[in-house]
Structure 1
Amino acid sequence: MGPPVPDRIASGVVFTTPASLPRGRHELSRAQVVAAQRERMLIAATELLAGRGYRGFGVREICARAAVSRAAFYDCFADKDACVYAAYDRFIEVFLERLADDAGTAGDWAGVVGGFVTAYLATLERDRVTARAFQVEMDALGRPARQRRRQAIERLAGFVHDMYERRFAGDAPGAPLSAYIGAIYALRQIASDALDSGDSPDLRSLAPELTAWLSRMIVTDSTGRPPAAPPEEGSPTR
Structure 2
Amino acid sequence: MNLDDVAPLPRGRHRLSRNDVITSQRDRMLAAMAAAVAEKGYVRTSVADVLRGARVSRETFYEQFADKEACFMAAYESAAELTLNAMSDAARNAAGEPVERFGEALEAYLQTLASEPTLARTFLIEIYAAGPQAIARRVELQHRFVDLTANLFGARSKQSRFACEALIAAISSLVTSRLGTGNANELAALHTPLMELVRRMLRAPESAAPAPHRARRKKSSR
TM-score tier, shorter chain, comes to 0.7 to 0.9
How big is the alpha-carbon RMSD for the aligned residues of Structure 1 and Structure 2? 2.4
Can you list the C-alpha shifts for 1:133-152, whole angstroms capped at 9, x where unaligned?
A: 22222211121221111111
Residues 156-202 of structure 1: CA deviation (Å, up to 9, x unaligned): 1101111222xx98xxx794323212211110110010111234532
Structure 1 residues 81 and 222: CA distance shift in structure 2, 3 A: same
Matched, 1:29 2:17: yes
Mapped contact 1:10–1:127 kept (Cα < 8 A): no
Match of 1:153 among 117, 142, 159: 142
Q: How does 1:118-133 map to 2 (within 5 A)?
A: 118-133=107-122
Separation in 2, partners of 1:203, 1:95? 14
**Higher deviation after alignment, 139-148 or 42-51:** 139-148
Q: 1:101 aligns with which of 77, 82, 89?
A: 89
**Structure with more of its chain in helix, by fraction:** 2
**TM-score computed with the length of structure 1 as normaliser:** 0.78
Show the counterpart of 2:212: none
CA deviation profile, 1:36-86 (whole Å, cap 9, x unmatched): 100000000000111100112111111111000111111111111111111
Q: Distance in 1 between matches of 2:22 and 2:188?
A: 37
2:2 matched to 1:9?
yes
Counterpart contact for 1:161–1:180, Cα < 8 Å: yes
State the TM-score, normalizing by the size of structure 2: 0.83
- 8 Å contact kept, 1:136–1:192: yes
- Unaligned residue ranges in structure 2 (runs of 5+): 208-222
Greater RCO structure (CA 8 Å; 6+ sep)? 1
2:45 corresponds, among 37, 57, 75, to 57
Identity across matched positions, percent: 33
Q: Is the 8 A contact 1:48 1:62 kept in 2?
A: yes
Rg comparison, structure with higher value:
2
Unpaired segments ≥5 residues, structure 1: 1-7, 225-238
Residue in structure 1 matched with residue 58 of structure 2 by the alignment: 70
What corresponds to 2:181 in structure 1? 197
User: How many residues get paired?
Assistant: 206
